[in-house]
Structure 1
Amino acid sequence: MNHGKTQPSRATDAGSTGSTGSACGAPCWVSLTSHGLEAAQRFYGAVLGWQWRPAGSGDHFRIALADSAPVAGIAVLPALRQTGVAWTPYFAVPDADQAAARARERGGTAGVGPLRLPPGRVALLSDRHGATFGIWEGELFGRWEPRRRAAPAFITLHTRDAFDAAMFYGGVLDWASDRPGSCEVEYEADEVLLRSQGHVVARIESGESDTAPDPSVRPHWQVTFLVDDVPECARAARRHGGGVLEEGEHEAVLRDPDGARFTVISAAGPRLAG
């Protein structure tokens, strides 16, 4: 059963569309670092209804498909094990080396890369408060092409100071710059909205602690997937070795068998993005 069938876009292109040269700092992908491809495919296939294909980059990667379109990835690499098991958002950049250097200049760290991963180049970084994110230089995948109205997932940064974080990411990713296609930044009470082509594509919210012992309340990027049936996704997570950390009628925070957290929200319920 396709419990997690994504709703916002009905595109069926399973290939790449466009390049990061014109995306300029927009979210362009989410990927899971995992201990095992087969187990992760079974779990997310059961919970979110995804199908799979090889990524064309060896035996360590898989692409998740919904309605035949790429929506997410799974990676199992020795170089990524130090990052732990987690869902990570990736942002499109025209030059991965330059973006990684900017992150280091602003107090962030580079955990992996930049390294070549056909059809592009990738790096895993941390911002100056410890939240992990990725950058991607190269061809963009299907539904994540930033010019489309909605993506199959939504991302939120929970951090200590939303405005300080926006300054960091803006400097690294050329937000609110005069570069063509640059994302717009909108400041509200205690959060920051990121817009691409006029549509909200990410949020940054204040309140998380840098030193909290629980990783869920330390600065982190939360990845949320739109699904048809939140309660059924929660039941499927329990049946297949995962867990339910928080559950409501329209939203739930789930954990996969390796401990990676992700959120599901009802496509028919309150929307995250504007």
Structure 2
Amino acid sequence: MTADLSAAQNFYGAVLGWAFRAASFGEGFSVALADGKPVAGLTDIARRIGMAVSWTSYFAVGDADMVSARVRERGGTVAVGPLAVGSGRVVLAADPAGAVFGFWEGRNVPDWGIGKGAAPAWLELRTRDAFAAAMFYGEIFDWAVDRPGRCEVRYEDEMVTVRAGGHTVACLRGGAIEADPDPRIRPRWHVYFRVDDVEKAVESALAAGGAVVNEPGGPGAGREATLRDPEGAMFTVTSKTSC
């Protein structure tokens, strides 16, 4: 969600090499393309609905009304929706710890799933209690249910991993936010995008008016770096070979 769609396209085009096309949802929406394939969505709706500029993680559901009810029953908040968008319905919500996320009922674009093709490498929830968060999301999305096609969930060392189709698609980490003295830091979902060269992406971000939150690091020089776009939205770039 951005306040200036054109400026966001210019920034992410320069940093991540994306191209863009109009989305079928209507004016103010665009689809980001990497190697000609959908990788993310951008919209200038942040200004219209008074929400902060940010990247939002969306999960596919079969029934938005049912999942909305589960969110409320388990202490979360439904902020927007279910709202008709194009041929589907979308909901913006927050979990009990305050992390914002969305879910989508409708047709999904082939190969636009996390960890597939040109799509984001994975999602990460940074929260206080990873186990409690896993219980919440597992119950509203039917994770770890003994039915075909459901996600597998594993808990180890204050970290929960979510696997689908044999590969990790999300990670829920606990503990770090609670220890941080900065009151502005709150639980949130974070997105990782693949790039060929992390150092080059960092240079491009700085040249395009962005900022570096965490310098390149991790196993192997330049494996990942956390950046902030000119409007304040944070994201991480990670090398394709490390995913």
TM-score (norm 1): 0.81
Once the two structures are superposed, residues 199-257 of structure 1 have per-residue CA deviations (whole angstroms, 9 ceiling, x without a partner) of 21100011223995454x42111111110111111111111111111112221111101
Give % identity. 51
| Structure-1 residue corresponding to 2:219 | none
Q: For 1:225, what is the secondary structure of its paired residue?
A: strand
1:265 aligns with 2:230: no
> Which residue of 16, 25, 43 maps to 2:11?
43
State how far apart, in whole Å, the 2-side matches of 1:251 and 1:194 are.
Answer: 21
Q: For 1:87, what is the secondary structure of its paired residue?
A: coil
> Which residue of 225, 236, 252 maps to 2:225?
252
State how far apart, in whole Å, the 1-side matches of 2:180 and 2:113 are.
Answer: 36
State how far apart, in whole Å, the 1-side matches of 2:149 and 2:115 are.
Answer: 9
Deviation at 1:157, TM superposition (A): 0.5
Alpha-carbon distance change, 210 to 72 in structure 1, aligned in 2, over 3 angstroms: farther
| Structure-2 residue corresponding to 1:69 | 37
Structure 2: gaps (5+ residues) = 217-221
Alpha-carbon distance change, 116 to 150 in structure 1, aligned in 2, over 3 angstroms: same
State how far apart, in whole Å, the 2-side matches of 1:80 and 1:191 are.
Answer: 36
| Structure-1 residue corresponding to 2:79 | 111
Q: Does the 8 A contact of 2:120 with 2:191 survive in 1?
A: no
Deviation at 1:151, TM superposition (A): 4.0
| Structure-1 residue corresponding to 2:197 | 229
State how far apart, in whole Å, the 1-side matches of 2:32 and 2:117 are.
Answer: 20
| Structure-2 residue corresponding to 1:100 | 68
| Structure-2 residue corresponding to 1:189 | 157
Once the two structures are superposed, residues 129-153 of structure 1 have per-residue CA deviations (whole angstroms, 9 ceiling, x without a partner) of 0001110111112322479588433
Deviation at 1:76, TM superposition (A): 1.5
Pairwise CA RMSD of aligned residues?
Answer: 2.1
State how far apart, in whole Å, the 1-side matches of 2:224 and 2:210 are.
Answer: 16
State how far apart, in whole Å, the 2-side matches of 1:245 and 1:190 are.
Answer: 23
Alpha-carbon distance change, 79 to 94 in structure 1, aligned in 2, over 3 angstroms: farther
1:1-274 superposed matches below 5 A: 33-77=1-45, 81-145=49-113, 151-207=119-175, 208-209=177-178, 213=182, 215=184, 217-248=185-216, 249-268=222-241, 270-271=242-243
Structure 1: gaps (5+ residues) = 1-32
Bigger mean CA offset, 239-248 vs 40-49? 239-248
Larger RCO: Structure 1 or Structure 2 (Cα < 8 Å, ≥ 6 residues apart)? Answer: 1
Deviation at 1:198, TM superposition (A): 2.3
State how far apart, in whole Å, the 2-side matches of 1:191 and 1:147 are.
Answer: 19
User: When the two structures are aligned, how many residues end up with a matched partner?
Assistant: 237
Q: Does the 8 A contact of 2:115 with 2:121 survive in 1?
A: no
Q: Does the 8 A contact of 1:122 with 1:134 survive in 2?
A: yes
State how far apart, in whole Å, the 1-side matches of 2:12 and 2:118 are.
Answer: 21
Q: For 1:144, what is the secondary structure of its paired residue?
A: coil
Q: For 1:102, what is the secondary structure of its paired residue?
A: helix
